[in-house]
A and B are shown apart, each in its own frame.
Chain A
Amino acid sequence: MHLPKYRLVKREKISPIFRILLPFIAIGISFIFSSIIILLAGRNPVIAIYSIFYGALGTRLGLLETIVKAIPLILTGIAVALAFTGKFWNIGAEGQFYAGALAATYVGISYLNLPKFLYIPLLLLVGFVAGGIWALLPGFLKTYLKADDVVTTLLLNYIMIYIVTAILEGPWRDPETMWPQSIRISENAIFPKLIERSRVHFGLIISILSVIGVYILIRYTKLGFSIRATGANPKASNFLGIDIKKTILITSLISGGIAGLAGVGEVAGLHYRLTENISPGYGYTGIVVAMLGGLHPFGVLLSAFFFAIIITGAQYMSRATGVTMFMADVIQGITLLVLLAMLIFYEYEIRRIK
């Protein structure tokens, strides 16, 4: 039987330069809106924004901290970007992050008799699986039971965070300090450092590999085509013989797995233990990172660095100018909204080729 051919094409031609420029224009405009808010708070916006960039990039320490902050953001950003590409509305990267962190901590504090080169891959594996399962659940509820993925992924965040606090305040409570945090993980489970006198760890390599991996997956594999097609037009995809249910399930599994890796990285690379607030909302920031990156893996890499600058720099700004570091959260929200307003310039559709 002869099937008509379909391709993913843009509705209207826009120049590639403009597409790359768009996020930068959005950032510029969002700084204007942010300045207004800083002005309303009675502070000098020029000094505040300057100190964000100085704090994040102006010193060796600041720059390295920015890289450290970028690691979880790259991973949650990639996780969300992959899910959104397939129109699986994964707003649950926060919960999947904690699921990964929880599983990795469990293996890490079990003090297994393993050398580092086996212990670390095991940590990554269990973290990926835990995060993946926590996303597969809403994926399953969406495909087989028609339960809205936005609501289920969001609610599962709250449930996972309560599970983590229950465990940390109960069986895992640190017996030395009595604080609600786990004991230190095994020395052999700790990620190696990449740069001397810094906190930059092996998670950076994991995150960059994930970017490349997802790029190859989306761009060059059959599964990747299925994900893009399902996201662009489920009806046409069905017609093309793509198993939409299977595609959504795999998308949710991989997406959640990558978000889980972000949790592994924060435990094994940075804190060496699980704490109740190990994520200051990396899962939610991942949504903004993914959108600013145009859902493109390399775009996500850049946009994760941008938001790492904002978050790291905001801490410096708060000390230097008295504008609270929560300005970082405001900038994230504004950037997403401004970008969204500009997104009307490009949208995808499936078009039939004659």
Chain B
Amino acid sequence: MKDILTIGFLIGLLSATIRMATPLILATLGEVICERSGVLNLGIEGIMLYSSLIAYLTVYFTNNLWLGVLTAIIVGILFGILMAFFSVSLGVSQHVSGLGITLFATGLSLFTYRQIIGAPTIPPTIQTFKTLTLPILSKIPILGPILFDQYILTYIALILVPVFSFLLYKTNFGLSLRAVGENPEAADALGINVYKTRYIALIIGGALMGLSGSFFTLAYFNMFLYGIVGGRGWVSIALTIFANWDPKRVLLGALLFGGIDALQLRLQAIGFNIPYQFFLMMPYVLTIIVLVLVARNALAPSSILKPYKRE
């Protein structure tokens, strides 16, 4: 038990917290943008999985990490367009469209991996991103190793939080996006193109989900596994509600869950006399508890789940 109380353990834990929060920050920002426009995107889990695979395969064949990130983003965008086609153009159930995309993308991930890589006993590994130790800043005691010795994708995720906060609250596009999500009829009357705005939201959201997916194979692990995303897309859906659809609060929620993830891994390693599955379960249990606590006061964008049909 005394292992827990050392400074080294705490630094490691907090550093891991930020690392594990990275994909959650990116994916949840993506979901926030989608939902703010009025579309629940349940394709998130599948989009993250397929883009993590494509990022992995790109690096596997080209050894170019940034090309991997780019292909993951493109995959996210393509799935975002597909989601928009169903939920915006056709206006069919957002629940079922999203689940359909997740099932399709998950099936496609299994299929693509097996068809290209096969079923080796040890999955082939790739060279991943190294942590980027920022000069001077990383020398700050305690704070340095926690904040400034992270993967570049983590820095990007952290920077994107204020960027999207600004985009949503301080730009014309953000205003249109929120108007479309709250009252599409009124937005339309003001001359905002509801369909186009929602398409753009789903494309940006998809790109962020794709970027999030790339973190799993290009930084967090060095291989692809079928369960690599492991429900973190669904956790992001819950975090969106927890964050009250506000980018700044996304950071808070993602750090909370990143922290639980980091903590449960360490508790597993210490080896209490409890089955390790109970630690693995913790993030999911906590997600449900938090969801229950915030759900009653949650105020979703009014037009969510409602397709817009122009008269």
**Interface bits A325-336 vs B (CB < 8 Å: 1, else 0):** 011111111101
Check B281 against A159 for contact (C-beta < 8 Å). yes
Q: Given contacts A141-B288, A169-B277, A333-B108, list 5 more A-B pairs with CB under 8 A.
A: A150-B237, A155-B234, A159-B285, A170-B275, A328-B107
Kindly provide the distance from the CB of A157 to the nearest chain B CB, expressed in whole angstroms: 8
Given contacts A148-B291, A159-B281, A324-B115, contact A340 B42 (CB under 8 A): no
Given contacts A147-B292, A333-B106, contact A291 B96 (CB under 8 A): yes
A197 within 8 A of B: no
Check B231 against A326 for contact (C-beta < 8 Å). no
- Docked complex Cα distance between A185 and B297 (Å): 48
Name A166's contact: one of B234, B278, B288, B291 (CB within 8 Å): B278
Using CB atoms, name the residue of chain A closest to B307. Answer: A344
B230 within 8 A of A: yes
Given contacts A150-B42, A150-B237, A163-B277, contact A337 B111 (CB under 8 A): no
Given contacts A146-B296, A158-B281, A162-B280, contact A152 B100 (CB under 8 A): no
B99 within 8 A of A: yes
Kindly provide the distance from the CB of A333 to the nearest chain B CB, expressed in whole angstroms: 3
B91 within 8 A of A: yes
Check B95 against A150 for contact (C-beta < 8 Å). yes
Enumerate 6 A-B pairs (CB-CB under 8 Å) in ascending A order: A41-B115, A91-B99, A159-B285, A165-B277, A166-B275, A169-B275
Check A152 against B277 for contact (C-beta < 8 Å). no
List chain A residues, Cβ under 8 A from B42. Answer: 150
Check B238 against A327 for contact (C-beta < 8 Å). no
B156 within 8 A of A: no
Check B106 against A154 for contact (C-beta < 8 Å). no
Using CB atoms, name the residue of chain A closest to B96. Answer: A340
A1 within 8 A of B: no
List chain A residues, Cβ under 8 A from B105. Answer: 333
Check A341 against B90 for contact (C-beta < 8 Å). yes
Check A340 against B111 for contact (C-beta < 8 Å). no
Check B104 against A336 for contact (C-beta < 8 Å). yes
Check A326 against B237 for contact (C-beta < 8 Å). no
Using CB atoms, name the residue of chain B closest to A285. Answer: B103
Given contacts A145-B296, A156-B288, A159-B284, contact A336 B277 (CB under 8 A): no
- Docked complex Cα distance between A146 and B295 (Å): 6
B110 within 8 A of A: yes
Using CB atoms, name the residue of chain A closest to B45. Answer: A154
- Docked complex Cα distance between A148 and B40 (Å): 12
- Docked complex Cα distance between A344 and B90 (Å): 7
B101 within 8 A of A: yes
B241 within 8 A of A: yes
- Docked complex Cα distance between A89 and B296 (Å): 18
**Interface bits B85-103 vs A (CB < 8 Å: 1, else 0):** 0100011110111011101
Using CB atoms, name the residue of chain B closest to A154. Answer: B234
A214 within 8 A of B: no
- Docked complex Cα distance between A150 and B287 (Å): 13
List chain A residues, Cβ under 8 A from B291. Answer: 141, 147-148, 151-152
A208 within 8 A of B: no
**Interface bits B247-291 vs A (CB < 8 Å: 1, else 0):** 000000000000000000000000000011110110011011001
- Docked complex Cα distance between A296 and B241 (Å): 33
Check B280 against A336 for contact (C-beta < 8 Å). no
- Which size class do A's interface residues fall under? 35 or more
Kindly provide the distance from the CB of B265 to the nearest chain A CB, expressed in whole angstroms: 14
B114 within 8 A of A: yes
The 6 closest A-B pairs by CB, nearest first: A333-B104, A329-B107, A166-B277, A326-B110, A166-B275, A324-B114
List chain A residues, Cβ under 8 A from B104. Answer: 330, 333-334, 336-337
Kindly provide the distance from the CB of A256 to the nearest chain B CB, expressed in whole angstroms: 16
List chain B residues, Cβ under 8 A from A37. Answer: 108, 111
List chain A residues, Cβ under 8 A from B284. Answer: 155-156, 158-159, 162
**Interface bits A160-189 vs B (CB < 8 Å: 1, else 0):** 001101100110000000000000000000
Check A154 against B103 for contact (C-beta < 8 Å). no
- Among B92, B105, B285, find the residue whose CB has the most chain A CB atoms closer than 10 A: B92
Kindly provide the distance from the CB of B101 to the nearest chain A CB, expressed in whole angstroms: 7
Check A340 against B280 for contact (C-beta < 8 Å). no
Name B93's contact: one of A145, A329, A340 (CB within 8 Å): A340
**Interface bits B195-228 vs A (CB < 8 Å: 1, else 0):** 0000000000000000000000000000000000
A282 within 8 A of B: no
Name B111's contact: one of A152, A165, A287, A327 (CB within 8 Å): A327
Check A162 against B91 for contact (C-beta < 8 Å). no
A343 within 8 A of B: yes
List chain A residues, Cβ under 8 A from B111. Answer: 37, 41, 324, 326-327, 329-330
List chain B residues, Cβ under 8 A from A155. Answer: 231, 234-235, 238, 284, 287-288
Kindly provide the distance from the CB of A347 to the nearest chain B CB, expressed in whole angstroms: 9
A288 within 8 A of B: yes
List chain B residues, Cβ under 8 A from A152. Answer: 288, 291
A284 within 8 A of B: yes
- Docked complex Cα distance between A155 and B107 (Å): 20
Check B238 against A287 for contact (C-beta < 8 Å). no
- Docked complex Cα distance between A205 and B296 (Å): 43
List chain B residues, Cβ under 8 A from A336. Answer: 96, 99-100, 103-104
List chain B residues, Cβ under 8 A from A328. Answer: 107
Check A344 against B231 for contact (C-beta < 8 Å). no
Using CB atoms, name the residue of chain B closest to A89. Answer: B95
Kindly provide the distance from the CB of B14 to the nearest chain A CB, expressed in whole angstroms: 25
List chain A residues, Cβ under 8 A from B97. Answer: 337, 340
- Docked complex Cα distance between A204 and B298 (Å): 44
Using CB atoms, name the residue of chain A closest to B274. Answer: A166
List chain B residues, Cβ under 8 A from A327. Answer: 111
Name B107's contact: one of A146, A154, A332 (CB within 8 Å): A332
Using CB atoms, name the residue of chain A closest to B226. Answer: A326
Given contacts A89-B95, A150-B42, A329-B110, contact A337 B238 (CB under 8 A): no
Kindly provide the distance from the CB of A330 to the nearest chain B CB, expressed in whole angstroms: 4
Kindly provide the distance from the CB of B142 to the nearest chain A CB, expressed in whole angstroms: 34
